Structure 1
Amino acid sequence: MTVRVLIVDDDDLIRAGLRAILGAEPDLEVAGEARDGAEVVPAAIKLRPDVVLMDVRMPAVDGIQATRLLLDRLDTPPRVLVVTTFENDEYVYEALQAGASGFLLKRSPPAEIVAAVRMVALGESLLFPAAVRRLAAAYGPATPPGLPGARLTEREGEVLRLMAQGLSNAEIAAKLVLGLETVKTHVGNVLTKLGVRDRTQAVVLAYRSGFISP
């Protein structure tokens, strides 16, 4: 299946570079480009991308607000992969809250950029563990406290802890010596049992509840 990508960045050179990198892959297609967050929702409605590569610092509407608009206004929004300069950039934490599926450093090698787009398209998240811990601390303790850990099996708990380390499904499968489909099932069960939308929310809840210690 071809993954359609919308590139959003106010820097012409960055857009051209990403277009060249992604366009060279047979399973990736650059569906379109946008120069500002204000153009994202109309472009997404028209082009129906699977993944949006979203810069955060743009002049009119930044990537954080554009991410919120995508999730609020589209019934089936694309996955958002935020492109940032620094792992500890404050925008990273805001993007997590807005619903971004992952983060990509602008200095990443082409192979990592391609792999990141593929992973996010498959429904996985690319997280900086330090960023998730800081977000959990910003939220404060859960109210009422406690993760419904008793509802998770021992294996599901292991999977959740590895998710908090930023591991992908494939990496979790290798770590636990399990099949990839088995890991996907465990991840799905964790999200369902915790009543959360995605891996990011699951990990934040795990930190806030004390199920996982920073």
Structure 2
Amino acid sequence: MNKLGLFGAAALATAFCFSSDARAVGDGDVSGAALDLVTAYVNNGTTTGNGGSFVTKAVKDALGWTSSQWLYYFGTSTLSAAKWYEQIVPPGGAAPTNFVEVDNIGDVDAGQIFAINATGSYTGHAAVIIGEPIDITPPNAFYTPYITGTKQWAVPIADSTGSEHGQNASYPDSRRSASGFTANVPGTAYIRLYSDATTGEILSYGWSVTATNDLNVYDQSERPFAIGELTVSP
């Protein structure tokens, strides 16, 4: 049975449009490696662990590194979402070693890492961006809440999560089917980013395109987040 369901099959087919048709392990294609993990779940039921564990597996596969190589370079077998955030935005204002931070919407692209830091009881989250942002600012489309002076973007991602990224036929979560949402497995979905309408600076994010009020949109003071371009070579 197709684990992705009705919307999921279409979502996965759409997601593959963002990636190359052929990918070799170790070629540095993080987006392709993330989509391979989604395919592995669809075909074989293979799971990865959520958030940071999914991203760790995708990046490790993209680099073609063994567990020993990974441990030598990063000092731990897997990076949590908070640790992925710290890779992009190191504590104390230090310069990142393995990433270039992306803070303008015009520079967001497939293969980059989206990471939300842990705050309070929230443990954070991490995902792989698999395509360019899609403008959903009125009048292109209308998704509430609209924040004056900003543009809104639907950003395609691959991740593993226990919380659905909204229920929207245009921007679906592939883990949604007629029977419900399948949690804690790899899939494709969309998050929402808000950018300054003039400068393009990324200001806040929403867990889904279908977030309905200000409580579902977070800025850096509420839940610090970052997007990073990996600079480590295979």
Q: Same fold (TM over 0.5)?
A: no
Report the TM-score when normalising by structure 1.
0.26
| Higher helix fraction (1 or 2) | 1
